[in-house]
Amino acid sequence: MEILKTGGNLMARAKILITGDIPEAGLQELRQNFDVFDNAAVTDRSWVLRHLHEFDGMILSGTKGDRELLDAGTNLKIISTKGDGFDNVDIDYAKQKGIVVAHCSRSVRYSTAETALGLILATARRFHFYDHAIREGKWLDVSNPKYMGMNLAGETLGIYGYGGIGGQVAKFCQVLGMKVLYNKRHRLPAEEEKQRKIEYADFATLVKEADILSLHAPATPETAGVFNKAVFKQMKKTALLVNVARGSLVKEDDLVWALETGEIAGAGLDVYEHEPKVTAALRKLDNVVLLPHVGTGTTAARVAMAKEASQNLISYLRDGVAINQVNK
């Protein structure tokens, strides 16, 4: 019988449960190291709760890692989410139970940043508005100022949550000639700011000065509803909001109010407060671009995510080294 290590202890070949749809191309190394069960036809939540005690690790998707699930995983040693977000797992309770929670922070970077860039371009240049007009048989005279969009060169991009994705969005937009302000919990060293050609701004300054405000912070109790009516009132009336992070950062009804009243000029959204439900009023507005949470919706990105999630499990269960851990 093959003997493997887990957290420094010897154990028989570990068993891994995968919930949700994970590309097979990203699971080859995981299968070489462990016994992997990923039958999507049977792994609904009730099945998972009955059988989770049989598994040492899991890649979690499509269900919540709440207390009920964590209690069911009596032999569970590690959970990896399949993406960057980990708000679907009770990480504090997992820590109490000695379960490592890891996420996939690197593999999502480029595809999500590309999605943010696409929304920035689409909202700034009003592509949805033009597309809608064309489909209705209208040919707009864009010499009329009311039909014009915004150039990006020379404008200010505000990044709320400057991590890997936010940093990549900043790089993309700097190529287009944008100035970058950023805000995060822990300010970067001055030398790094200089190297990246970015400027730190407190939250109030970021909101007031950004021509385009791009959200990249995780969903936490501190970030819940942070973008609300009071904040929208502080933004420029010409400003645009782009969110590829988590819908909980934005109070959606307040955003509708801001868009309908002209308090801000437009928005590009890939995530929603009550996802997959999208506020009906948003769907009627031509100054909003709406995507169905497609930030990592490419074949290459999904395979890379599967590989990174696999590496989270392999590193811990085989080598005893926790990587990408979010509940240290």
Q: Is 246 a catalytic residue?
A: yes
In 3D, which of 91, 34, 94, 159 has the Cα closest to residue 326? 91
Q: What is the pLDDT of residue 42?
A: 80
Residues 18-34, mean pLDDT to the nearest whole number: 94
Distance CA 130, CA 143 (A): 14
Q: Based on the structure, what is the number of domains in the chain?
A: 2
pTM of the model: 0.89
List the catalytic residue out of 216, 246, 302, 308: 246
Q: Is 275 a catalytic residue?
A: yes
Q: Is residue 88 part of a domain?
A: yes
Residues 170-175, mean pLDDT to the nearest whole number: 98
Distance CA 162, CA 58 (A): 29
The CATH number of residue 145's host domain is 3.40.50.720
Is residue 56 within 8 A of residue 6, CB to CB? The reply is yes
In 3D, which of 231, 242, 311 has the Cα closest to residue 271? 242
pLDDT at 304 over 60: yes
In 3D, which of 305, 310, 312 has the Cα closest to residue 326? 312
Both 209 and 67 in one domain: the answer is no
Q: What is the pLDDT of residue 43?
A: 80
Q: What is the pLDDT of residue 6?
A: 45
Both 102 and 135 in one domain: the answer is no
Which residue range forms the structural domain that includes residue 152?
109-290
Q: What is the pLDDT of residue 39?
A: 86
Distance CA 65, CA 94 (A): 9
Both 47 and 146 in one domain: the answer is no
pLDDT at 129 over 90: yes
Both 170 and 249 in one domain: the answer is yes
Q: What is the pLDDT of residue 3?
A: 39
Both 153 and 40 in one domain: the answer is no
Strand order in the sheet with 35-37: 35-37, 15-18, 57-60, 78-81, 100-102
Both 100 and 125 in one domain: the answer is no
Confidence band for 5, pLDDT divided at 50, 70 and 90: very low
297: which 2 tokens? 């919706």
List the catalytic residue out of 106, 125, 293, 318: 293
Both 88 and 202 in one domain: the answer is no
Both 78 and 188 in one domain: the answer is no
Q: Is residue 324 part of a domain?
A: no
Both 120 and 34 in one domain: the answer is no
Residues 272-296, mean pLDDT to the nearest whole number: 96
Q: Is 274 a catalytic residue?
A: no
